[in-house]
Amino acid sequence: MDFNFSPLFISLRVAGVATFLTFFIGLYAAHKISDFKKGKAFFDSIFTLPLILPPTVLGFFLLIIFGRNSIIGAFFQSVGVNIVFSWIGAVVASSVVAFPLMYRTSLGAFEQIDENVINSAKTLGISKLKIFWLIKVPMAKSGILAGTILAFARALGEFGATIMVAGNIPDRTQTMAVAVFSAVMAGNRELAYIWVAIILTVSVILITLMNYFAKKR
């Protein structure tokens, strides 16, 4: 049996880029929401929604948003960027699915910071940007690291939204989760077992790291 490692490399690359995006977007969103006094529950619900919705439903919405007939999709097409059925589409789908985990974990870490520390920094005239990067982020680093690992693990195992937006194109958009599905549909259980074993191994490593940072937190 010829074994192709491309789904592993595609999954790692997609998950890596998606985690990079969700890290900064999730941190920014969590930082802003933690400071909200009004409307916090509404925005928190919106940001957490991808965690509740079925991945196929998210994939459907992403197809509507980035499809060729949409305004956004037409714009990207005009500049030569094709999101649907491309590697970029896999990154977008994985980022949307992984975002709530990064956001919720970071938000919980930020909310545990003593407000007196933040108020003291403001009294000393320290800028909001420095307060965020030099005080809030270091104090919440364990939670942020745990959220990053969770986001990476979720992006790595994403299937539903990815197959709807990026499709199942070998050597281009076929991730490990999609490779398992393809192997099962083709009746190749031996190949499916191999990919399941690889996914389980990576997942156990990531969960171990997450538990370590959660315990440290």
Cα-flanking dihedrals φ and ψ of residue 153, to 5°? Answer: -65, -40
DSSP state at residue 134: I
Provide the pLDDT for residue 148. 93
> In the predicted model, is pLDDT for residue 217 greater than 60?
no
> In the predicted model, is pLDDT for residue 47 greater than 90?
yes
- 70-127 pLDDT, tens digit each: 899 889 988 888 899 999 999 999 999 999 999 999 999 999 998 899 889 989 888 8
- 58-73 pLDDT, tens digit each: 999 999 999 888 899 8
Residues with Cβ within 8 Å of residue 1, at least 6 apart in sequence: 190, 191
Domain 6-216 fold is MetI-like fold (1.10.3720)
Give the integer Cα–Cα distance in Å for 195 and 79: 36
> In the predicted model, is pLDDT for residue 1 greater than 90?
no
Contact (CB, 8 A) for 213 and 145: yes
Q: What is the mean pLDDT of the chain?
A: 91
- 124-156 pLDDT, tens digit each: 888 888 999 999 999 999 889 989 999 999 999
Q: Where are the domains of the chain?
A: 6-216
- 9-42 pLDDT, tens digit each: 999 999 999 999 999 999 999 999 988 878 788 9
